[in-house]
Amino acid sequence: MLLSQINKGTEIFAVTDHLDVYSYMDYDVFTPIRNSNAEVHRLSEIYDGKCKVLSGVEVSEVYWVPEVYKKHTFDVDLIIGSVHLVRCPEHPEPYSRIDFSQPTQDWIYSYLELYFKDVLMLLDTVDFDILAHLTCPLRYIVGKYRRSVDPARFDGEIEEILRRVIKDKKAFEINTSSFDMLNDFMPSRKIIEKYYSLGGRLISFGSDAHVPENASVNFDKAIAFAKDVGFENICYFENREVRLLRI
Ligand SMILES: [Zn+2]
């Protein structure tokens, strides 16, 4: 991943492996994060001057089992907060594994309502720096299963979340992994513009790469769009402190 970033000319990137806290009973979710962070520290010395590598973690579902998460601390540059599993009694599995071709339209809307509630719960309960991929279930519902969803139904919930992110001085991620599928970012251009209009200025980019080829994918489009909206900087975090980069 680092070599791919260097080839692409990326100056700074963060490794943020998943910490899906709720899965702690199924497998050891904590040790891989510590190993990942240790590897980042090792590589950052070797590649010093070529690319700045930051250590991080993407925490999700902490609020399902806060007592488990509280027992652990991580020495990282940044923490991303996200929702991968919605507290939905019928489908508690990650939304990436739900078959959205079958449920009724009403059920899909009720699922999304629960998703936005969980994002608010995340903001209420977890100390993190960047809110990741808001509206990510749409990548599956709309992108993969081609169901139509009117996002305007959730304007109120989304505005509440954006206001909270701004008030808490958290950064708002523009996730570029959806671009090839949806011809849009996650969240959408419309939501990013709303964030700006409400006074939000802290944006970060995430390619959600998972494989080296996708490192920083579509960042050129994200930079062009962010400038068009009026953003002057993107941000990253070092030792949990925000740093700005002029774009
Ligand atoms: Zn994620």
Torsion over CA: 147, 152, 156, 161 (sign): positive
Domains delineated in the chain: 2-246 (3.20.20.140)
Residue 186: beta bridge partners?
175
Which residues have a Cβ under 8 Å from the Cβ of 167 and sit 6 or more positions away?
none
Q: Tens of pLDDT along 5-25?
A: 999 999 999 999 999 888 888
Tokens of 222: 């994200």
Tell me the C-alpha distance between 223 and 232, whole Å. Answer: 10
What mean pLDDT comes out for the span 50-56?
95
From 69-73, 78-82, 117-121, 189-193, the region with the lowest mean pLDDT: 69-73
pLDDT band, very low/low/confident/very high, at 54 (cuts 50, 70, 90): very high
User: Residue 163: pLDDT above 90?
Assistant: yes
Q: Tens of pLDDT along 114-139?
A: 999 999 999 999 999 999 999 999 99
What mean pLDDT comes out for the span 168-185?
94
pLDDT at 187: 97
Going from the Cα of 99 to the center of ligand 1, the distance in angstroms, rounded, reads 19
Mean pLDDT of all residues belonging to the chain: 95
pLDDT at 73: 84
pLDDT at 137: 97
Three-class secondary structure of residue 51 per DSSP: coil
What's the half-sphere exposure (Cβ side, CA atoms, 13 Å) at 236?
19
What mean pLDDT comes out for the span 165-187?
95
Q: Tens of pLDDT along 137-161?
A: 999 999 999 999 999 999 999 999 9
Going from the Cα of 83 to the center of ligand 1, the distance in angstroms, rounded, reads 7
Going from the Cα of 136 to the center of ligand 1, the distance in angstroms, rounded, reads 8
Could you tell me where the DSSP H helices lie in 87-153?
A: 105-125, 137-138
CA dihedral defined by 160, 162, 166, 168, rounded to 10 degrees? Answer: 60
Which residues have a Cβ under 8 Å from the Cβ of 157 and sit 6 or more positions away?
113, 116, 117, 120
Going from the Cα of 114 to the center of ligand 1, the distance in angstroms, rounded, reads 17
What mean pLDDT comes out for the span 55-61?
94
What mean pLDDT comes out for the span 195-200?
98
Going from the Cα of 102 to the center of ligand 1, the distance in angstroms, rounded, reads 24
Tell me the C-alpha distance between 164 and 246, whole Å. Answer: 25
